[in-house]
Amino acid sequence: MGRIAIYPGSFDPLTRGHLDIIQRASRLFDHVIVAVANNSTKRQVFSVSERLEIVEEAIRPFPNVDVDTISGLLVDYLKAKKARILIRGLRAVSDMDYEFQLASFNRRLSKDVETVFLMPDDQYTYLASSMVREVARLGAGTEQFVTPFVARKLRLKFAKRATQ
């Protein structure tokens, strides 16, 4: 199978920045798995199945990328997938402290895990899913931040909430 890399996250929603990281990782590794977190402690806009659908649509151009769900310890998931490489995106210096702590913690849990940090294209360094959700919730267009498929999903999601 070659070098397998796991790119975990909530992807709520998947942004153009996430997609940029996926594309970069797909060129560096033989197989990339986008692992959609099933975190019941977070309040998500999209369900796990909706986020899987969104990621599946977005990764179609990348034949060596798959999507899966993850719950539980990340290092256990990596072992189950016979992967040693963890992909993390770094947007700005402000991300580094948290990401370095996370990488160190994962290495303590499993000495075999290597975290590879990838920076998105400059145009996406400010982009965060939380900001996209807020813009969508307030009724503004999100097309510059997400794919057209995700933008439609966001419009539908927030239109439904407005009528409830």
91 is a catalytic site residue = yes
Q: HSE on the CB side for 139, CA within 13 Å?
A: 2
Active-site residue, from 10, 24, 26, 129: 129
Active-site residue, from 27, 42, 82, 111: 42
84 is a catalytic site residue = no
Active-site residue, from 79, 84, 91, 107: 91
Q: Burial code of 47-79, b = ≥16 C-beta within 10 A, e = fewer?
A: ebebbbebbeebbeebebbbbeebeeebbebbe
Cα separation, 67 vs 101, whole angstroms = 25
Active-site residue, from 10, 16, 18, 133: 18
42 is a catalytic site residue = yes
Cα separation, 81 vs 152, whole angstroms = 33
81 is a catalytic site residue = no
Q: Which residues are catalytic?
A: 18, 42, 91, 129
